[in-house]
Amino acid sequence: MTTPAAVTGSVRPGSPGGFALLVRYVARAALVVSILCAIGAVLGIVYGAATFYGDGYRAIIVRGGSMGETLPNGSLAIAVWRDAGEIRAGDVIVVREASEDGSSASPVIHRVTEVEVTGDAIQVHTRGDANKTEDPQVYTLPDRVMVATHNLRYLGYVLGWVASPLGWLILVFLPITGLAASGVYRLWRPRGPPEGAPA
């Protein structure tokens, strides 16, 4: 009678094949890369914002269509600080309307139509490019005013979503949580007998 040869090797019943292992490793690598990209994107936004603020620039998300095609709704307006005495008719400035209780309300980006200097006070009349009439309020400018100099269409929508709680949840929290859970599972999952050892 012929004695069957002993079976040796690293493959044991139930272990995944080569293609399945390849797919698993590629999926894990893609997850790691996506997480690193998300973290890099967040750090890039933070760094860019810090650089803008350090150089006197501000990024403002345009919410509303009063400026028409000049600054469409959802755009990202890039504004720079200027002294109030440098403001001229035609400049697009950022002003704040006073609310009913006297506090400062949301900023408004409108075009200056007229500048009036009364003593030390500089007042401006403004109007949105898409509006037919001037704003009813005459604004007294502070010492420095933000003037919109550039416009990045639709980027305001993107940054607004990224900065929202839902954006942080999808781009940062869920990928990091998934990677951490995968690492914990791989560390604590039950392991089978060593390869080659009797079951």
What percent helix, strand, coil does the chain show, rounded to 5? 35, 25, 35
Q: Which amino acid belongs to residue 199?
A: A
Cα–Cα distance, 74 to 28 (Å, whole number): 36
The token pair at 113 is 């139509």
Q: Strand pairing partners for 77?
A: 60, 151
185 half-sphere exposure, CB direction, 13 A CA radius:
6
Task: Quote the CA–CA distance of 176 and 169 in Å, as a whole number.
Answer: 10
The tens place of each residue's pLDDT in the chain, 199 residues long, gives 555 554 444 444 445 566 667 777 777 777 777 767 667 666 666 666 666 666 677 888 888 889 998 998 888 888 899 999 999 999 999 987 665 665 556 788 999 999 999 888 999 999 999 999 999 989 999 999 999 988 888 777 777 776 677 777 776 777 777 777 766 666 666 555 555 555 5
Report whether CATH 3.40.50.10470 matches the domain 57-153. no
Q: How confident is the model at residue 196, as a pLDDT?
A: 53
Q: What pTM does this model have?
A: 0.58
Written in H, E and C, the secondary structure of the chain is CCCCCCCCCCCCCCCCCHHHHHHHHHHHHHHHHHHHHHHHHHHHHHHHHHHHHHCCEEEEECCCCCCCCCCCCCCEEEEEEEEHHHCCCCCEEEEEEECCCCCEEEEEEEEEEEEEEECCEEEEEEECCCCCCCCCCCEECCCEEEEEEEEECCHHHHHHHHCCHHHHHHHHHHHHHHHHHHHHHHHHCCCCCCCCCCC
For the chain, the domains span 18-53+159-186, 57-153
